[in-house]
Structure 1
Amino acid sequence: MSYVDEMITRTIEKNPGEPEFHQAVREVLDSLRPVIERDEEKYRRDAILERLTEPDRVISFRVPWIDDKGQVQVNRGYRVQFSSAIGPYKGGLRFHPSVNQGIVKFLGFEQIFKNALTGLPIGGGKGGADFDPKGKSDREVMAFCQSFMNELYRHIGANIDVPAGDIGVGGREVGYLYGQYKRLTGLYEGVLTGKGLTFGGSLVRKESTGYGLIYITEEMLRNHDTTMSGKTIVVSGSGNVATYATERAQQFGAKVVAMSDSNGYIYDPKGIRLDVVKKIKEVRRGRIKEYLDEIPTAQYVEGKGIWNIPCDIALPCATQNELTLEDVKTLKANGCFAICEGANMPTTQDATDFILENEILFLPGKASNAGGVTTSALEMTQNSERVYWSFEKTDSRLKEIMVNIYAQISSAAKEYGVEGNYVIGANIAAFKKVADAMHSQGIV
């Protein structure tokens, strides 16, 4: 049995009941075969794949808090510190009922490679809790965040592990978490990113993942003799990633015609009015169906089905495994020629296989979703220097890094004989950086 097959089998056996983690490991390791086979003895001798697929540590803890009725509630919190080979652990916190150890491990594993592609000195980690901030008062969210940090603070630090936001963790939650960290430690340091601008945050952080997605998508299109201008785009989700991907895509001359949330989706053939979406989502924290209150000519459809809308480019920006094989078959039949991931692993494995077999342009999330962690790392830089960069400087640096990520993954794919396969290119380019660092540092 090859080293890659052996490690896929071993990882699945050692981590039962964690399908998302299995999927992520299988996808990455399968694509690394050309690299591993060139020097299998060396990688096997140093147990590189064993060390990559086994987190440095998995922290699980109880999070008790009191709701507005005086009832004590209990949730479970996690932090997975996966790899610090090229820098302190870096990755978001996700507050959502679906969070479990397997999902946090899949996200942390993906983060190793995503962070490596940025070229910045950050390792891979992830965390979160099975807490749902939707429908909770600000006081309840604060109570939960403070209790969560009462344990997490023991395991993080500006040069150890720097969490950020993710699904369910925005500026409000990061503020409460940071306040409690400062209260417990007495330290005012860059230990969390996505902070408010008045206490160490960075401009462009809110926009960064969505903007980054558009920058790398436009670079890919440019290298295939086209641009985003005049193209019709469907975007799933309506959080930060989807909102700001829509904003930048519109500025690049594209027409975004659909967005969604967990309840359903809106279709506006005239083009999404982003000012209305921002009012609903960022001001009122409402549901996407409220779009019809101001734009009655649009359509709202309950449930799934957004990928049935004809488009040139699809941007899945909601959550993992939202884009299925049937969805991508429908997209192709309707003329879609490019799919670029804004979320973490939003495309199922069989759907990814179909996309690649049918030569649809495809950017994997570990490359195209890297804008958020890029700007988080730039926030860490600003915190260390005790300075604030302008919006223009930060945005320019973000764009430069995203364009460079495309160059890396395109070059790696070409070097290993799979030109245009950016899934393999991204995994190989990132793996080589991490593996080289692991070799240099010995057995740690």
Structure 2
Amino acid sequence: MTIDHAGSERARTRLALTVLALCWFAILCDGLDTFVYGAVLPRMLADPTLGMSPGAAGTVGSVATLGMLIGALAAGPIADRLGRRTAIVAGVALFSIASLACAVAPSVEVFAAARGVAGLGLGGLIPTAISMVMEYAPRGRANLMVASLMTAHQAGGILAPGLSMLFLDSRGWRFLFLLGGLPLILAVPLMLKFLPESMGYLLARGRVADAEALARSRGVAVADFVTAPTGRGGASSTTAHRIRLLFTGSRAITTPALWTASFAGLLLVYGVATWLPVMMRSTGYELGSALSFLLVINLGGIAGMLIAGQVADRVGPIPTALVWFALTAIGIAALSVQMPLAATYAVVFATGVWLFSAQTMVYAGAAAHSEADFRATAVGLTSGIGRFGAVFGPWLGGVLVASGTPRWGFGAFAVAALLAVAALVVVFVTDRVGSRATTSSVRERVSL
């Protein structure tokens, strides 16, 4: 079957937008699940039927992120064995069922177990969805498509407090988790019908006939999705070999520094997502205002993704992340002081602009400091190490609230932002030294 070039490009664009839309909804659900717990937490703490203490609340938050850590580490092998489409659909189904279990949980222990299972489903969604979107993106639009995809996480963060403000008083916190089961009814059937399997997965598994049938059904060419091998190592290299490459030359310094920045960044993201309403109430704001701050910080996150991407295209992801984390530290510290409401909203929005996109730039920096043969390993490990911060952040907030010092959370999270700054300064200086050494070496060879 012969497909004209223009028609193939239009068909590929349609296919890319279909994949983006379905994966965007999956990540939206990820964001909703991440932020809904923090949005309803004040009401859960006041519910005598559940009997949740602030310390237990922090532990529950960490259980969920621990599940995400395990899910993220397992996502690659599962997707490679069963397919990316299967991994995405299974993840959405798993966290939807777990959310329904949260809605009817009779005790803190059952609720925590359900949150952990939800984390397993959620953990692998972002890396797997990014892989799918990048693979099907039109030529030259992969970064734009991924940036668009990642706005879904912050959109979920906006939806969580928005739904809480609508239903929390009238329906209670359990109703919000009941809504988390809707993707099982709405998203899974659509994905099973319209989400294609990864063309790269089919070809890598030797299922050429299936790949050709998929291409014909969507009006595209298989050749559009075939990438040339990069050479050194490639698919035949072992995981251990790819990890060793992360510690060769200057990467022996930059890799641990990037892991540290990722740990601090996700500590911030998940700690703030879980405890911001509680911390804002400790400074004198009512619950309604505290929930609206969670909505505003995620609006800032959406704007920040688009701004940071453009800035990073000009100056690079590491300088961008460095400055963004420094500004995040200032913003979080400023929130510990009660200001006029308009000023507080402005600071919360600006903090969202800097916070969420700073962590995204860490991932971009990890990709820039690796080569094609081990780039997936580099970014995957940077994300995986960061998940330990995602586990620690909610726990830390719970300890501070349980000790009667929730306002100290602002200082603790500001310190985490400064830790990321320090780690990225190490990366930046190492890069500059390496660049000067390379330039000097070139000049010496030229003079000879």
Q: What TM-score comes out, normalization by structure 1 length? A: 0.26
Looking at both structures, which has the greater relative contact order when contacts are Cα pairs under 8 Å and sequence separation is at least 6? 2
User: Whose strand fraction is larger, Structure 1's or Structure 2's?
Assistant: 1
Q: What TM-score comes out, normalization by structure 2 length? A: 0.26
User: Whose helix fraction is larger, Structure 1's or Structure 2's?
Assistant: 2
